[in-house]
């Protein structure tokens, strides 16, 4: 499987960085090559334009932005979902990674 790029978007990019670390560990344990990173909502547009993103996950705190991201991502064919609030709150990296993988199939 080729390297996958998973972008997480939250309001400031801070709380999500811990989740990124846990997702990276889960990906390594599976032998999955992944570039997983978090950005703030204000940086997201630039990243979408400059990186080859395979899937975008929104943090629960920015779920209200889903419609505007759908408009930007649809022409590029990038799947989008909101991270489950429970998984986000518990920083459940393996579960969120699973969610991202499911969207990329």
Number of domains composing the chain: 1
For residue 68, the model assigns a pLDDT of 96
Cα 17-62-20 angle, rounded to 5 deg: 15
Residues known to be catalytic: 10
Question: Are 45 and 76 contacting, i.e. CB atoms less than 8 angstroms apart?
Answer: no
pTM (two decimals): 0.94
- Residue 80 belongs to domain with CATH number: 3.40.50.2300
Host H or E run for residue 69: helix 66-73
Parent domain of 21 = 4-104
Question: Are 99 and 105 contacting, i.e. CB atoms less than 8 angstroms apart?
Answer: no
Res. 2 pLDDT band, cuts 50 70 90: confident
pLDDT digits (tens, 9 = 90+) for 20-54: 999 999 999 999 999 999 999 999 999 999 999 99
pLDDT digits (tens, 9 = 90+) for 57-77: 999 999 999 999 999 999 999
For residue 105, the model assigns a pLDDT of 82
């Amino acid at each position: 499987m080729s390297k996958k790029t998973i972008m997480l978007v939250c309001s400031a990019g801070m709380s999500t960085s811990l989740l990124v670390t846990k997702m990276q560990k889960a990906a390594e344990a599976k032998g999955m090559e992944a570039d997983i990173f978090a950005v703030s909502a204000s940086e997201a547009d630039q990243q979408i334009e400059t990186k080859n993103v395979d899937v975008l996950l929104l943090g629960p705190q920015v779920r209200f932005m889903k419609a505007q991201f759908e408009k930007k991502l649809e022409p590029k064919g990038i799947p989008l979902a909101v991270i489950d609030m429970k998984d986000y709150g518990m920083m459940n990296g393996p579960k969120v990674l699973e969610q991202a993988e499911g969207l990329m199939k």
